[in-house]
Homo-oligomer: A and B are copies of this chain.
């Protein structure tokens, strides 16, 4: 039995995470100011190297947790980037993952310690290496994924208003949606629970809060569906 493929070249394998969050200002990503060479002081995605005894999904989870303290986050592998000199230090192939997090839940302390910051998609700074490309790619994927599975909810707090949901979808798709049509489409999916509670922040009248109907939601996650917005 062989114990190596002797002639093949080994490379470093990195994981970079595009972390999406959402608040009243719109869709955001979490970036970090590098405090090591190369490109010290520039903005970058959060990332790290794959360990010998670790699968890629776990590396992505570990990296996300290291920088935000979060567990149980929706993540999805995106793409492997392999340009020869994408990292000038050493030949490194990077596999990108995107994550959707509820922006209220992350650990502010940790983020500060790592010099990480949230940036609106529109005015994010220029990033190192091919990270700009990764972000663009992630946004495209998020748009598509949103239209086929109801993952957008991952970005909202547990209780949310219809307005918040609408604005989230508008931010992801970057287009205006018709309020009435949106609401009736969402309702027809039957994945929400309407609570008796109202959110009084936004108006005198107050607007009803919703949570997910977990069971229905899981079904929809399983069987692809189409959400034409």
Residues of A in contact with B (beta carbons under 8 Å apart): 1-5, 7-13, 37-38, 49-57, 77, 79-80, 82-84, 89-93, 95
Contact = CB atoms under 8 A, between A and B. Distances in A.
27 contacts: A1-B37, A2-B37, A2-B89, A3-B89, A3-B90, A4-B90, A5-B49, A5-B90, A7-B49, A8-B12, A8-B49, A8-B50, A9-B49, A9-B51, A9-B52, A10-B10, A11-B12, A50-B82, A52-B91, A54-B84, A55-B82, A55-B83, A55-B84, A56-B80, A56-B93, A77-B80, A80-B95
Nearest to A86: B55
Given A8-B49, A53-B84, 15 more contacts: A2-B37, A4-B90, A5-B90, A8-B12, A9-B12, A9-B49, A9-B51, A9-B52, A11-B11, A11-B13, A11-B52, A54-B84, A57-B82, A80-B80, A80-B95
Nearest to A226: B228
A2 B84 contact: no
A162 to B, nearest CB: 27
Interface of A is mostly: loop
Contacts of A1: 37-38, 89
